[in-house]
Structure 1
C-alpha cells in the first residue's frame, strides 16, 4: 500500500489513459467470438455469399483496431513503469548521497549499486507485469467470459469451475519465489560488489599473479547466482503445465457438453465455435495471470530492499537552532575527544584526545597505521560525530553550527585521488561549483 501511495497514485492520470486503451483492447478482443457465431450460422445459408465481403471487412477492421489499441496500451503502460522506476533510482541515489558517511561506507559499493540497478529492474518487470497482465489480461478475460455467458451460460460455468482449481498451487509457488528472489537479489549485490573489487584491484592482481584466484572467487559467486536463478526457473516452470492441464480439462468439458446441447438443439454449431474461440482467446491471458504472481513476488522482494534504503535517516544533521559557522582566526580545539566506530565502547579509534591547532599553523599527525590519524581528520567536517568530548572552531562547537556552513569552510586534500567520469574542467571545479 505504501508503494502504491508513494509511486503509483501520483501517476493516476497516466494510468487512467492506459486503462482507456486497455478497455478498448478488451472490447475489440471480445468482438471476435460473435463474428465467428454470425459467420458460421449465416454463411452456410443461401445469403451467405452476399454477407461474406461484409464479414471479411469486419474482421479486418476489428483486427486493425485491436492492433492499434495494443500498441497504444503497451507504449503508455511501459512509459508509466519506466518513468516510475527511473524516479525511484533518482530518489534512492539522492537519499544515498545525503546519508551519513558511515552509512555509505558500511555497505560495499557493489551492494549499493545493485540496489539501484538490479533491484529496480525487478521492480520494473513486476510493474510491467502488473499493468500489462493484471489489468490488461484481466479486462480481456472479463470481456471474453461475458461473451461466453452470452453464448451459453452452462458451458461458462464449466470453465469457471475448472480454472480456480489452480489458485492454491499458484499461491504456494509464489511464496517460494519471493523467498528465492530475496536471496537472489542479495547474491546479485555480492556479485556486483566482488566484480567492482576485483576490477579495481587489477594492479595488485597482475603484480602478484592472482588471476586464477580472482577468477575462482568470482566464478563461485556466478555459480551461486546460477543456482538461485535455476531454482526460480524450476518454480516458475511448474505454472505453465498446471495451467495447460486446467485448459485441457476446460476444453474437454466444453466439447462434451456442447455435443449434447447441439444434439438437443439448445445451441447452434455457430454458438459452439464462437464459445470455443472465446475460450482459446482467454487461454493466453489466463496463463499470463497465472505467471503474474511469480513476477510480482520478485518485485515485492525488491521493493522491500529499496525501502530499507529509503527508510534510513541520517544521524549527522544540523540542530534546529544551529547557526552558520563564522570563521575568524581559524583555531581548532579538540577537547577530550573520543570516537568509536558503530558506537562500540570497547574499541575506541580515538580516546580522550585533546589538542589546540592555532589558525594559520600547520600540524602533522604522525603514528602507526590504525592509530586514528585519518579518523581525527574525518571528525572535523563531521563525516562522523564524536562519541565523547567536543570539537570547536573559533570557540563554536561543531554541533552548534549547520553542517552545510561547516563543510563550506573546509578543504581537504586527500591522499586518495578520485577522478569522476567528466571533463578535466568539471573535476577541477568540484571544489567550488559555479566558480
Structure 2
C-alpha cells in the first residue's frame, strides 16, 4: 500500500478532525461490544435468579449505551465526511495545479483522457476509501479484534475454533486481494482509453457528421466500451467468490458454536448467558468478517488509483526556472537564435531544427515560411521557452531565455497560436484573458487592431456576447481575430502570430497587417504563414526546409536568390490568383 500511504500526506490539515472521527469510532465500537456482556448479565444474574432489579437496571444501562453509540456514530460520520471531502479537494487541486505547471513536453507525454481520469475517477476512488477508512475500514478490524478478545474471555474453548476459521478466511482474502490489484490497474487504463476517445469524438463531432463517420465512431466506442466492461466483469467475479466464501465460513462458525457450546451448556460448564453472549459476539464478528473482503478489494482499487495520481504529482515540469535566474525587464525585442539544435526526443536524438541562426532586430517583422513539418511552429515555440533547445541558445536582448524567469519572459511575449482556443465566457473576457484588469478602451483598441470589432458590435450583446464551448458560435476567422486581439492587448515587446490569419479573408488579413505595421516601433513581430501574401511586406523572411534555414532575406532578395521561395510565390501568386 505504498502509493496509498504516500498520498495520505494530504490528510495533515485535517488531523484534528480525523482524530475526533477515530475517537468517536472507538467509543462506538466499545458500546457495541458492551451490549452482549450486558445481555449475559441480564440472563445469568437477573432472569436465572429471578431478580427484576438486575433486569431493569441492566436494561437502563443498555439504553444509555445504545444512545451514546448513536451520538458518537453521528459525530464519526460528520467528521469523516469533512476529512474525506477536504482531502479529496486538496488532492484534486494539487493534481490540477501540477498539470497547469506542465511544460509542452510533459503535455506531449500525457494523454488528455488519462489526466481527466486522474482528476475525476482516481481522486474520487481514493477519497471514498479515506472516508471508509475512518468509518467501516477502521471499525471492521477493531470490531473483529474486540469480539475475538471477548470471545476468548467468555469461552476460550469455543473461541479457539472461531479463531482458526478466521485465520483461514484471512489468508484467502489476502490472496484474492493480491490478485485484484493488477485487474484494477487495467480497469483504469481501459477507462483512460474510453475518456480519450470520448474527448476526441465530442471535440470533433462536427467533423464526424461532415464525413458521415458516426457508424465507425460507434464501432470504435463499442470496442473500447466492451473492453472496459470485460475488465469490470473480472472485478465482479472476484466479488462473487469472496462474499459467498465469507458467508459460508461465518455460518460454519455459528453451527460450531451452537453445537459445541450447547453441549457445554447442557453439561454445566457454560452458562446460558455466556452462550448467548458468545453467539452475539460471533454475530458482531460476522459483519467485519464479511466486510473485510470488500474492504481489501477497495484498498486494492485505492492503491491502483493512488499510484496513478502520484505519477502525475511526481511529474516535474521539464521547463522550470533555474537557480540564479533574473527577471526580464525593459525589453526592446531583439531576438537571436544562435546555432540552435532542437529535438522532441528527451535524449536529444533525431533533430527537428538544425543549426538555426538568425537575428530579429527590435521592431522588425520576421516571417517564417516552409512546407508542413519543416519546423516553423517548433521554432517560434522556443522564444517563450515552451521547449528547451538541445544545442545553441535563444536570447532576448542578449540574455539567454534560460537565464530569466519564465513569468517575466512570457509577460513580454504575446501569442496567437495556430489553433484559436477560446474559453466559455464573454467576448470581452476572452480578449482580456492575459490582462484581466484591462480597461474597456484597451479591449476595444485591441479588437479594432485585430479587425474584430465590426463583427463583435454586430452581435446582439456586443462584447458581452457569450462564447459557447470551444467557440462553437463563432466562425474560424472570428475566433482567430479574437485570439489576435487577446495577444495585442498584452502590448507585448514580442508578438508571435502562428498562422493566425489562415481562416480570415484576404482583405481582412491586409487590414490586420496594416495595424501590425503601426506597431513596428512597439514590438518585434514573428509571423508563421502558409499564404505568401501574408509575408510580402515583412522586413525579413526565413524559408525553412527540413529544419534548416534554406534562405533568408526580403521578398525582393529571395525572389533573386531562393528557388524554394520563388516556387512558393509562383504556385500561389504567379498566375495572378491567391491561394487561400
Provide TM-score, normalisation by structure 2.
Answer: 0.71
Partner of residue 98 from structure 2, selected from 78, 81, 95: 95
Q: Which whole-Å deviations, capped at 9, do the CAs of 1:23-54 have from their partners, x for residues lacking one?
A: 11011101211232233335545745566555
Report how many residues are paired.
435
Higher relative contact order (CA 8 A, sep 6+): 1
Summarize the Cα distance change of 1:328–1:289 in structure 2 as closer, same or farther, 3 Å threshold.
closer
Question: After alignment, is 5-14 or 380-389 more displaced?
Answer: 5-14
Equivalent position of 1:3 in the other structure: 6
**Secondary structure, counterpart of 2:300 in structure 1:** helix
Is 1:388–2:391 an aligned residue pair? Answer: yes
Residue 259 of structure 2 is aligned with which of 214, 236, 256? 256
- Equivalents in 2 of 1:115, 1:224: separation in Å? 19
Match of 2:360 among 351, 354, 357: 357
Q: Name the counterpart of 1:428.
A: 431
Deviations 1:345-395 (A, max 9, x none): 564222222222221122221222212111111111000111222212121
Match status 1:330 vs 2:345? no
Q: Which has the larger radius of gyration?
A: 2
How big is each residue's C-alpha offset from its partner over 1:160-186, in whole Å with a ceiling of 9 and x where there is no partner?
121111122211211111000111111
Consecutive unaligned residues in structure 2, runs of 5 or more: 439-580
**d(CA) in 2 for partners of 1:139, 1:434:** 57
SS of aligned partner of 1:383 = coil
Cα separation, 1, equivalents of 2:400 and 2:85: 46
Instruction: Give the conservation status (yes or no) of the 8 Å contact 1:129–1:296.
Output: no
- Counterpart in the other structure of 2:197: 194
Q: Deviations over 1:241-273 (max 9, x none)?
A: 221122122112211221221122122222211
Within-5 A mapping of 1:24-423: 24-42=27-45, 44=47, 47=50, 53-54=56-57, 56-343=59-346, 347-423=350-426
3-state SS in 2 of match to 1:380: coil
In terms of mean alpha carbon deviation, does 377-386 or 48-57 score higher?
Answer: 48-57
Higher strand proportion: 2
> Is the Cα–Cα contact under 8 Å of residues 343 and 387 in structure 1 kept in the other structure?
no
- CA distances 1:154-210 after superposition (whole Å, capped 9, x unpaired): 212221121111122211211111000111111111111110000000110010111
Q: Which moved more, 1:205-214 or 1:354-363?
A: 354-363
Structure 1 spans left out of the alignment, 5+ residues: none
The two structures have a TM-score, normalised by structure 1, of 0.93
Mean Cα deviation higher: 214-223 or 425-434: 425-434
Moved more, 206-215 or 354-363: 354-363
Q: Per residue, is there more helix in 1 or in 2?
A: 1
Superposed CA deviations along residues 195-250 of structure 1, whole A, max 9, x for unmatched, are 00000001100101111111111111111111111101111221112211221221
Segments of 4+ moved more than 6 angstroms: none
